[in-house]
Copies of this chain bind each other. A is one copy, B any other.
Amino acid sequence: MSATDCAACLHRWPDPACRIADLGPAVLYLHDDQFFPGWSVLVLKRHATELYELAREERSALIEVVSRVAQVLAATYGARKMNYALLGNQIPHVHWHLMPRLAADPAPDSPVWSVRHAPLRLASGELAARAAAIRQALTA
């Protein structure tokens, strides 16, 4: 896959309604399934598939943003533990899933992907409010 047929590069994914903030080398979105509150997706602005395709400085800058977002999400949601994952099996464009795991979530010891659940799509107002709260925490 190249930039010309990549859903991220073509701005078909993530949904613009989920956008939180522009963070330099990447853009932060809420995941469209908010069953795990605060689950966010950080998408690299340029097309790359693997971490090792980036230059060292680019990789370092990206991991700084990953780290900063994780810290803010952890504080905002009172996370027991943060989870960080770069998979890209379906959309092979570098993006990080950043998931605050709460003590009260249904299986805090397990990866989110082993927890069967119905996806929780927020109403537009609630989605915007959640994105705004994270945006504000990032700029505080």
Chain A residues at the B interface, C-beta cutoff of 8 Å: 49-52, 54, 56, 59-60, 63-64, 66-68, 70-71, 74, 81-90, 92, 101, 108-114
Residue in B closest to A68 when the chains form the complex, CB atoms = B52
- Identify A50's interface contact among B60, B82, B92, CB under 8 A: B82
B108:A111 contact, CB within 8 angstroms: no
Q: Is the CB of A89 within 8 A of B101?
A: yes
From A72, which residue of chain B is reached at the shortest CB distance? B52
Q: What is the interface of chain A mostly: helix, strand, loop, or mixed?
A: mixed
Closest to A51 in B: B67
A134 to chain B, nearest CB (A): 15
- Rounded to whole Å, the gap between the CB of A33 and the closest CB of chain B is 13
A90 to B114, CA, bound (A): 14
Residue of B nearest to A60 (CB): B60
- How many Å lie between the Cα of A59 and that of B66 in the bound state? 11
Give, as a whole number of angstroms, the nearest-CB distance from A54 to chain B: 8
In the complex, how many angstroms separate the beta carbon of A81 from the nearest chain B beta carbon? 6
Please give the distance in Å from A119's CB to the nearest CB on chain B: 14
Q: How many Å from the CB of A97 to the closest CB on chain B?
A: 9
Residue of B nearest to A111 (CB): B113
Task: Give Cα A81 to B1, complex, Å.
Answer: 12
